[in-house]
Structure 1
Amino acid sequence: MGDDFGRYRGTEGKVSQWLRRLARKHDDGRSSATDADAREALLLAVAAAGMPISPAAHPIGYRCSCERIGCPTPARHPISFAWQTQSTTDEAQIERWARNQPEANFITATGLVHDVLDVPLEAGSRALERLLEAGVDVGPVADSGGDRMLFFTATRGTPEDEDEWWPCELDCHPETMDEHPGFRWHCRGSYVLVPPARLPGELSMTWLRGPEHPLPDPLTLLETLTDACARYAGENHELDPHPVAWPLGR
């Protein structure tokens, strides 16, 4: 569990409280016989929130289970090339996956029910504090287990009329991750890892706010997140301090 877990006022829901209790069990050195059941319950909670998931790779030491030499996203990518059609919220299927693939991480396909606003951890931490202090309804939020924070929102990517869908310079697909070092917007055609997930180097991905929190409209978070990212970029000159955001006037 990360040191930042539970640090934000008002962020702890049922899932987050359970994670903290589990961390305490491990800190006490006691092996929990219910870890597999708990993992399954967390995955089912993600599905119950309407977010479709499918199996992903897992770490083997500092390597990825896919055994691809130089895997660019170790333990963070789907197992199947058909992940978009395979992703599901079906409880029975998720239980089968969880029990038959006990080491697997899971990804969720974005742009179907939800999008994900993916920002640097430091910028996300500042934005989350501001949003909560302002009384904004923030949805699920995850610590990526590295240097990113993920804000889960309702999607803008599946209108009934396809002519109403239009791209944005922040749209991030798996193959374009390096093009978006600051703000990334995962919508149609993309995915993100979901907690609980193990990562190389004994890192882990955890919920800061669990999936029981309703998905907000992304516009309610966008201004605060882009502002935090711009400030962060100004302090880190290798990043673009002026990302092109989804036009607010449209």
Structure 2
Amino acid sequence: MVGAPLARRMKRRGRAAKRSRTPLDSVLEYARLGWASCPGAHPLREGGRACSCDRLGCPDPGAHPLSPAWQMQATTDTAQLTRWWELEPEANVILPTGRVFDVFDVPLEAGLSAMARMDASGSLTGPVAANGDRVLFYVATRGNPDDEDEWWSCSLDCGPETIDSMPGLRWHCRDSYVLAPPSTLPSGQPVSWLRPPDGRPLPDPVRVLDWLADDFE
């Protein structure tokens, strides 16, 4: 039952975020933090297609960039961000990883358990978001490590089927991205912050990974 209070808080914050913040508000705030963003596809509520993109049978509805050139387009330029979201106000928010931050993407139960234990120990979690049945921990990027096997892309492109020591973990880093608050999932549920970014330095990824590893043993 450790995760129950956090789960309730996640639902409350998700509803509040949906009422009070628009995608444009959020990307401008991310830009102030130095976090680049670009528009993403969004779920369709009517018609026979699940995604606003032009890809038939989209494998990841509403959870991918609008443009295949997203890595070059992602920006902190507030004028460009404003133009994009004024043209596509329902566009979801895509944040590229491996630049300012990496993201540990874990199953909901494991993420809530790790947060509770970090809170109990007084360890800072850094920004944490809820994305459906996943919890995303934003950590300092490791840059370009020598061991290329440590890197993989997001699930829309390719990813390991399993990781022997930590099945279910996705490490979004170079050449990957995440769907950020206040994006909307196909279920209608918003992606929401459990711990919003506050401008403080992001936590060390190895330290956060140690906490997450306890839930995969």
Indicate which of 37, 41, 45 corresponds to 1:53.
37
Q: Is 1:197–2:200 an aligned residue pair?
A: no
The residue number in structure 2 matching 1:117 is 104
The residue number in structure 2 matching 1:90 is 77
**Is the CA contact (8 Å cut-off) linking 1:56 and 1:77 kept in structure 2?**
yes
**Within 5 A, what are the aligned runs for 1:8-47?**
21=16, 38-47=22-31
**Is the CA contact (8 Å cut-off) linking 2:99 and 2:141 kept in structure 1?**
yes
> Shift of residue 170 of structure 1?
6.3
Letter of the 2:120 partner, please give it.
Answer: E
**Is the CA contact (8 Å cut-off) linking 2:102 and 2:139 kept in structure 1?**
yes
The alignment partner of 1:136 has SS state of coil
Letter of the 1:4 partner, please give it.
Answer: A
Q: Is 1:152–2:101 an aligned residue pair?
A: no
The residue number in structure 2 matching 1:73 is 60
Cα–Cα, structure 1 residues 104 and 225, in superposed 2: closer, same or farther, change >3 Å? same
**Is the CA contact (8 Å cut-off) linking 2:181 and 2:191 kept in structure 1?**
yes
Write out per-residue CA displacement over residues 122-144 of structure 1, whole angstroms, 9 at most, x where no aligned residue.
10010011111111121111101
Q: Is 1:101–2:88 an aligned residue pair?
A: yes
Distance in 2 (CA, whole Å) between partners of 1:85 and 1:154 is 21
Cα–Cα, structure 1 residues 170 and 179, in superposed 2: closer, same or farther, change >3 Å? farther
The alignment partner of 1:200 has SS state of coil
Write out per-residue CA displacement over residues 17-73 of structure 1, whole angstroms, 9 at most, x where no aligned residue.
xx66556xx6xxxxxxxx6x7432222222222221100000102701114222111
Cα–Cα, structure 1 residues 168 and 213, in superposed 2: closer, same or farther, change >3 Å? farther
TM-score (norm 2): 0.83
Letter of the 2:9 partner, please give it.
Answer: G
> Shift of residue 201 of structure 1?
2.5
Q: Is 1:221–2:203 an aligned residue pair?
A: no
Distance in 2 (CA, whole Å) between partners of 1:209 and 1:219 is 19
Q: Which runs of 4+ in 1 moved over 4 A?
A: 19-23
Cα–Cα, structure 1 residues 179 and 49, in superposed 2: closer, same or farther, change >3 Å? farther
Write out per-residue CA displacement over residues 183-209 of structure 1, whole angstroms, 9 at most, x where no aligned residue.
111110111111101121222211111
Q: Is 1:187–2:190 an aligned residue pair?
A: no
> Shift of residue 81 of structure 1?
0.7
Letter of the 1:175 partner, please give it.
Answer: D
> Shift of residue 210 of structure 1?
0.8
- Output the aligned Cα RMSD: 2.5
The alignment partner of 1:208 has SS state of strand
TM-score (norm 1): 0.73
**Is the CA contact (8 Å cut-off) linking 1:136 and 1:220 kept in structure 2?**
no
The residue number in structure 1 matching 2:157 is 175
**Is the CA contact (8 Å cut-off) linking 2:152 and 2:159 kept in structure 1?**
no
Gaps of 5+ in 2: 1-5
The residue number in structure 2 matching 1:240 is none
The alignment partner of 1:204 has SS state of coil
Give the number of the structure whose alpha-carbon radius of gyration is greater: 1
Letter of the 1:211 partner, please give it.
Answer: P
